[in-house]
């Protein structure tokens, strides 16, 4: 019975091929749009997660506090309250902290031979390599504790800096000058790409923070401390413990505000991921409107089909067809039309996602579960919008149907 009903449905669709295709076009566009839009949204989420991952995992950033003078309040860094011993104390005394590194940064002109390049100079400790997951080429090495203790004139350079001041030459053991001070290049940092704000993470030179303090800036404080918690679950706990320790070390009374800020990058990561998720849902919802419009098109054509085939329905009833048989026939026709449209829509969605990826270099991520859901939804659209025409056909009076011209 089911096979016969399916054959009748396919025969009815073949009878009016162009009309059937135009009816399916709404479903094709709707399913294709849903798959493409969700793929774009998922690609954006994956891109955000990848960019956040380059900042390091379980990371906290500690910055100096603000100062108020004459009613004017400065931003973060207005007071010089952090020193390198704070970083050591955090690493030694806070059980939920794995690593900590003082940081100092400044934009300077870097010179190599007859070429120069303005870039960010970062003063760091050896721990920053694990905190930020920085990789170094096989021929180079990272800054070590001896470099920090001796305020060594050694430097690690990012890929962007290496390309602009060394070109095709091997930079290892090359010499760069910062403020006329020579630094030996001990390694090239692995590529990290851009952040979500467009900042090039590879446009950087890293030197020991003690060298930055003594030879470049002439200071004794640090501009920040980067901390890695022992796990993602311990990040909030680490934030509370660090706050308590620094308040104790800086002798801040209970009624006074902190002279530092502790920023949790996992909160930023969660907010960015939520924003991308909302965007994916929004895009998918907008595209789903096309499915609804396509369903209305199916209902419209099925109603026309019922009117055109009134006499055929009367004949079927006269030879013994029951109401449920007539109803099943038209529902199957609607479902077949929607399912074929859904299958073609899946192909359209996948191909359009690939085109967007190649032409616009936008990351797309096609999920198999979304394809399955789109196919089920298209079939559901056929059932939902085919039910009323099928019910109308089943409720026709056989005598009136046979008389219909």
Q: What is the DSSP letter of 189?
A: B
CB of 157 within 8 A of CB of 189? yes
Q: What is the pLDDT of residue 317?
A: 72
pLDDT in tens, 344-403: 888 888 888 888 888 877 778 787 777 787 777 777 777 777 777 777 777 766 665 555
Coil, strand or helix: which one is 159? helix
Q: What is the pLDDT of residue 72?
A: 46
Coil, strand or helix: which one is 80? coil
The residue to which tokens 């079939």 are assigned: 379
Q: What is the pLDDT of residue 151?
A: 93
What are the residues whose beta carbons fall under 8 Å from the beta carbon of 8, sequence distance 6 or more? 329, 332
pLDDT per residue, tens digit, the chain (405 aa), is 556 666 766 676 677 777 778 778 878 888 888 788 778 877 777 776 666 655 555 888 998 876 555 444 555 555 678 999 999 999 999 999 999 999 999 999 999 988 999 999 999 999 999 888 888 977 889 999 999 999 999 999 999 999 999 988 889 999 999 999 999 999 999 888 776 566 788 899 999 999 999 999 999 999 999 998 888 778 888 999 999 999 999 898 888 888 888 887 666 666 666 666 676 677 667 666 777 777 777 777 777 777 766 777 677 777 777 777 777 777 777 788 888 888 888 888 888 888 888 887 777 878 777 778 777 777 777 777 777 777 777 776 666 555 555
- Rounded Cα–Cα distance for residues 403 and 405 (Å): 6
Which of 60, 103, 101, 86 is CA-nearest to residue 247? 86
The residue to which tokens 């800036």 are assigned: 217
Burial of residue 169, with CB atoms counted within 10 A of its CB: 0-12 exposed, 13-18 middle, 19 or more buried = exposed
């Amino acid at each position: 019975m089911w096979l016969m009903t399916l054959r009748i449905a396919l025969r009815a669709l073949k009878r009016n091929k162009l009309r059937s295709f135009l009816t399916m076009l709404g479903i094709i566009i709707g399913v294709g749009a849903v798959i493409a839009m969700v793929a774009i949204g998922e690609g954006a989420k994956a891109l955000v997660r990848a960019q956040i991952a380059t900042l390091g995992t379980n990371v906290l950033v500690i910055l100096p506090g603000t100062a108020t003078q004459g009613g004017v309040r400065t931003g973060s860094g207005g007071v010089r309250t952090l020193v390198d011993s704070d970083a050591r104390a955090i690493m030694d005394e806070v059980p939920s902290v794995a690593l900590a590194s003082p940081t100092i940064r400044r934009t300077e002109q870097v010179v190599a031979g007859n070429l120069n390049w303005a870039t960010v100079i970062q003063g760091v400790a050896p721990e920053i390599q694990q905190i930020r997951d920085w990789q170094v080429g096989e021929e180079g090495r990272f800054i070590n504790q001896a470099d920090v203790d001796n305020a060594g004139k050694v430097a690690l350079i990012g890929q962007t800096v290496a390309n602009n001041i060394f070109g095709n030459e091997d930079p290892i053991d090359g010499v760069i000058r910062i403020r006329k001070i020579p630094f030996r290049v001990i390694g090239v940092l692995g590529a990290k790409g851009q952040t979500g704000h467009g900042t090039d993470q590879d446009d950087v030179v890293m030197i020991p923070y003690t060298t930055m303090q003594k030879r470049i800036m002439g200071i004794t404080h640090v501009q920040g401390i980067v901390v890695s918690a022992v796990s993602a679950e311990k990040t909030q706990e680490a934030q509370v413990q660090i706050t308590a320790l620094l308040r104790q070390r800086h002798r801040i009374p209970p009624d006074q505000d902190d002279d530092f800020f502790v920023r949790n990058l996992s909160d930023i990561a969660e907010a960015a991921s939520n924003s991308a998720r909302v965007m994916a849902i929004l895009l998918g919802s907008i595209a789903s409107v096309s499915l609804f419009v396509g369903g209305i098109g199916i209902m419209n054509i099925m109603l026309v089909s019922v009117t055109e085939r009134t006499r055929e329905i009367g004949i079927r009833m006269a030879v013994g067809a029951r109401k449920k048989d007539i109803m099943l026939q038209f529902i199957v026709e609607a479902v077949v039309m929607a399912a074929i449209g859904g299958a073609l829509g899946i192909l359209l969605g996948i191909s359009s996602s690939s085109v967007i990826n190649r032409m616009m270099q936008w990351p797309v991520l096609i999920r198999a579960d979304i394809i399955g859901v789109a196919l089920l939804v298209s079939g559901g659209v056929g059932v939902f919008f085919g039910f009323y025409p099928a019910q109308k056909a089943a409720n026709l009076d056989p005598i009136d149907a046979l008389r219909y011209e």
